[in-house]
Structures are given as structure tokens and as C-alpha cells.
Amino acid sequence: MSCILSPPARSEGSTRDVPPAVAMSLASRARASWATYRRPWRRAARWSAVRARVTGAGRRRARPPAPTVLERRRAAAIARRHGSDTLANFALRADRSFCFAPGGDAFVPFVVLGGFALSPGGPIGALDQMDGALDAFEQLCARHRWRPAYVSVPSADLGRYRRRRLRHFYFGDEAVVRIADFSLAGKRNKSLRQSVQRIARDHELLVVSEHDLSPELAEQLEALSERWRAGAPERGFSMATARRVGDGPAGAKLFVAMRRDDPNGVSPEPATFTGTPSGFLRVLPVTGDPSAWTLDAMRREPTSPNGVTEFLVARTIGDLRERGAERFSVNFAVMARLYRDDHHNSRGDRALVQMMRPFNHFFPFKSLYDSNRRYRPEWVSRVLVYRSHLQLPFITVLYFGLEGYLSWPLVGRWFDPERFARRNAAAWSLATVDEVIDLRDSVARSSLVPRPEQRDGDTESDDGLREGRRDVRRDAAKFLAT
């Protein structure tokens, strides 16, 4: 018995049957269109997730508040007491913000850019409060969705970062000259000695405090600095303070190479010497170590003969020796270990050297190392500390941008440190006396908060509290008036 199955009856209003070939063609086109539409969105979502994990993009990020007047004074006092590192002078720049330890005797300077909080040199302060400053800084970054990173950290301080499971990457070496060991004598110093002697025939060294500069000489040195930069921005994030001649910090000394108008004439006294400047150095005493000095700026006339820089550095070291100094930080050389003869490069190091060679014109790492090596310095290794390997490329780009190496149109303006300085200066100029009184300040706290034994309705404590508040208010008003 056979059974023939007939198709179901079509209800009224139903559409016509679609041929199977047409249906398959429409289905395949729909699948292709949906895949084409969905694929870019999936890639964008995946990249957004990775970018948010690495840089914190897409999350709520707050701009760091500009430091108050009392916070800047407090940071300067801590740097004077405990700032023995050569980078302590540069922690008080106008573009820095500060995060203080709970104990009040240590702080972390930092700049926020692109979702990263970059701290040059790490914490500064008493040794027993350095960990507290780091913990406070990490908590501040977690609260504001910043990614903490520490640049130019001495390798001797890596222990406290390893305890926090942070990663590090070798970044460069700081050239520190031991003044007692420096000499121009000997066969190995023949080239340096000849350069110094050749320039000394028609040049004199003028040593003057930057704040005692005459307006004429300050104008000449500023014009020389502009010619040396040739339109390029001012470089320096970790080791630079002032942007213009005359704006240096207290204690800054200028060592100027003055060209004699009459080379055969008698050299006058340096205090009354007049001539044409061929170059200059700005040198700063380390805030917490009076026996150490650091180089802040180095400028040379583009048309001056070779050897002016060597003349300035050698004569500066001689002058610092007479002042009782023991060490002089000449400069920081990025990746200097790769070019040193006493270091055995691994296969990865050799590959990195070959990769960096084509960019020597834009990033003069090799020439900077060669110029520092002539002074026979002691190399102090410094590292870059970060949380994840995925963050390393972003941190490197941000650091080189802040140092002034990425001075491209439109892009270079984003890294300009003066942008942060203007923002902080605007906040200081708009601050009132009440905003300046910071209860977190240890000095203000000692004046405003009564002792525990005086808090039980004691009239004397209330009077002392009001008196202390008036004193701090009066000091803050005087400081803002200046």
C-alpha cells in the first residue's frame, strides 16, 4: 500500500513560494553582509578592551589638582632635608603635582598624561616613609584610574618596587663625575686636554649667580639659547628646571665662556670681564646634599669652535672643586650600557643597537654617550618601573614626548611641559586664602589641631585653635601677596 504525501494546503494571504536556488542565494548574501557588518565592530570592541586595560582609556579619569602654595612649600622643605638624589632639584618644577606620605615627611612628584601618572625619580623623603609615599601614590592612581609609572629610578632602589610586584626595564645611565678623581693629565685625556687648551687661548670663564645677572648678559644668553635650539622645543623632563635664562631656582650658578675681543690682550678679572658669550652651563646644588651638584642646561653658540662644551665642563669641575664639591652629575645617557666597552651585550642588546642606529639622527643617544665618556664618569644605572609589559610602549612614547624628542607639528604641543605649568599657575593665581590653608599639611596641622588632652571643651584649646588659624591665614595671605 503506497501513501502519497501532498504538500500542506496554503492558507489565505500567504506569499508565493520562493525557489530554493533564490532562497539559498539570499541566505548566503545575508550571512556575508552580517559578517562584514559585525567584523569591524568586533575588532573595535576587542581593541577598546585592550586599550582600556593598558591605558585606562574609556574610564573615568580626573585631572590632578594643582598643588596649593603650602603643598609646594612643604615639598621644597622635604627636598631640602632628604633630597640627596640628583633628580631632587627637578621634582619641584612648575608642572609637577605631589602625593604625600601619611607621615608627612615624603612625597612622590608626578605628571598625568594620557592616562598615565609618570613620576620622575620616584619618592623623595625620609627613608622610613618612602614606602608610605609609594602606597599613597598607588592608591591615588587607583582612585582616579591612572596607570602609575616611574622613570629614571636608581637601580639601587628597586627593592621597594619588587615588593609591589612591579616590573622594570633598563633605561640608561647617569654620568656622575667624582671631582677628586677628575684630571686633564695623562695620555688617555690628551684629546680632552687639547680641546680645553685650544679654547682657553681666547676665552675666559665667567661664574655668576643666575639671579645676579645683568639684563644685557641675560638677553645675550637667551638669544644664544634660541639660536642653539634652532626652533626646536626645550628638552628636559627629568633633568631640567627653568625654560628661560634668569628663571632658574635659588642657588643656580651660570658658567659662561666669554670670548675675548682682543685675544692678545691682558685677561681682566672675571668679575669685571666683558665680551661675547660662546656658551654657558646652568649648574644647581643638590638640595639635600651640599657636596653634590648637577647640570641643568648646556648651551653653545652654533658658530663657535669645537671644544667650547669641553672647556665649560672642565673649568666648571675645577671651580666646584674649590667650593668643596665631591660629585657632579654631567648628564643622563639613554641606553648608555649598550655602547660601553666594559659591558657584555647579549644577543637582544646587539639587536637593539642595530635597530637604534638608523634613528641616531633623531635620537642622539650614541653621541650623547660619547660626549659624556670623555670625562671618565661613574655610571649610575637608572630604570623604568611599570606594572605591565603591555604598557611599556605607551610609557616610552610619553616619556620621549615629554623630553622633547617628539617635537612634531600638533603632536609636540600635547607633550609641552609648559601646558601643565600654565594650568598649575592659573590655579595658584585663582587660589584664595581659605583654599591655601591645607589641613593635610603637617605644619598647619600642628597649629590648627589641639592636643588630645585639650579637646574636652577646654577654652584655652579653642583660643589656641583660633589663634593658630589666624596665624596660618596671615602667613598664607603674605605668601599670595608676593
Question: Which of 90-99, 313-322, 452-461 has the lowest average pLDDT?
Answer: 452-461
Q: Does residue 279 sit in helix, strand or coil? A: strand
Q: Choose from 196-200, 338-342, 357-361 the range with maximum mean pLDDT.
A: 196-200
**Residue in this structure with the C-alpha cell 520562493, named with its chain if needed:** 18
* Residue 427 pLDDT > 70: no
Confirm if 283 and 297 have CB atoms less than 8 A apart. Answer: no
In the prediction, which pLDDT does 432 show? 39
Report the range out of 31-40, 383-392, 413-422 with the highest average pLDDT: 383-392
Residue 5: is its pLDDT beyond 50?
A: no
Does residue 420 register a pLDDT over 60? no
In 308-362, at which residue ranges do the beta strands (DSSP E only) sit? Answer: 327-334
Residue 281: pLDDT over 80 = yes
* Per-residue confidence (pLDDT) for residue 442, from 0 to 100: 38
**Which range has highest mean pLDDT (83-97, 114-128, 356-370)?**
114-128
Model confidence band, residue 356 (pLDDT cutoffs 50, 70, 90): confident
pLDDT above 70 for 21: no
Distance CA 90, CA 103 (A): 23
- Indicate the average pLDDT of the chain: 75
Placement of cell 609609572 in the chain: 149
Residue 163 is predicted with a pLDDT of: 93
**Residue 327, strand partner residues:** 178, 292
pLDDT in tens, 55-95: 454 444 567 777 888 888 999 999 999 988 888 888 888 88
Angle between helices 190-200 and 308-322 (to 10 degrees): 90
The pLDDT confidence band at residue 437, using thresholds 50, 70 and 90, is very low
The strand pairing partners of 176, in sequence order, are: 329, 378
Which architecture characterizes domain 175-381 according to CATH? 3-Layer(aba) Sandwich (3.40)
pLDDT at 23: 66
Query: pLDDT, tens digit, for every residue of 159-187?
Result: 999 999 999 988 888 999 999 999 999 88
Least confident range from 138-142, 202-206, 237-241, 352-356: namely 237-241
Query: What type of residue is 161?
Result: Y
Residue of 34 and 433 predicted with greater confidence: 34
* pLDDT band per the 50, 70, 90 thresholds, residue 240: low
Angle at 247 between CA 242 and CA 252, to 5 degrees: 80
- Lowest-pLDDT range of 21-25, 96-100, 365-369, 444-448: 444-448
- Can you tell me which residue has the cell 574610564? 59
- The confidence band for 482, taking pLDDT boundaries of 50, 70 and 90, is very low
Confidence band, pLDDT 50/70/90 cuts, at residue 436: very low
Find out whether 110 and 117 touch, Cβ atoms under 8 Å.
yes
Domain spans of the chain?
Answer: 44-166+387-429, 175-381, 432-481
In angstroms, the CA 132 to CA 138 distance is 10
pLDDT level of residue 480 (50, 70, 90 thresholds)? very low
Check pLDDT > 80 for residue 142: yes
**All three cell numbers of 306:** 669645537
Measured over the CA atoms of residue 216, residue 220, residue 221 and residue 223, the dihedral's sign is positive
Residue with more model confidence, 325 or 269: 325
Task: Give residue-wise pLDDT tens across range 248-258.
Answer: 888 899 999 99
Q: Quick one: what percent of the chain has pLDDT higher than 90?
A: 33
- What's residue 452's pLDDT? 37
pLDDT at 49 over 90: no
User: Which own/partner contact pairs does 318-325 have at CB distance under 8 Å and 24+ positions apart?
Assistant: 319/205, 319/207, 319/255, 320/179, 320/283, 320/293, 321/179, 321/180, 321/182, 324/291, 325/179, 325/291, 325/292, 325/293
pLDDT at 327 over 70: yes
More confident residue, 199 or 442: 199
Q: Tell me what the mean pLDDT of segment 294-316 comes to.
A: 91
Position 424 pLDDT exceeds 50: yes
pLDDT band at 117; cut points 50, 70, 90: very high
236 pLDDT above the threshold of 70: no
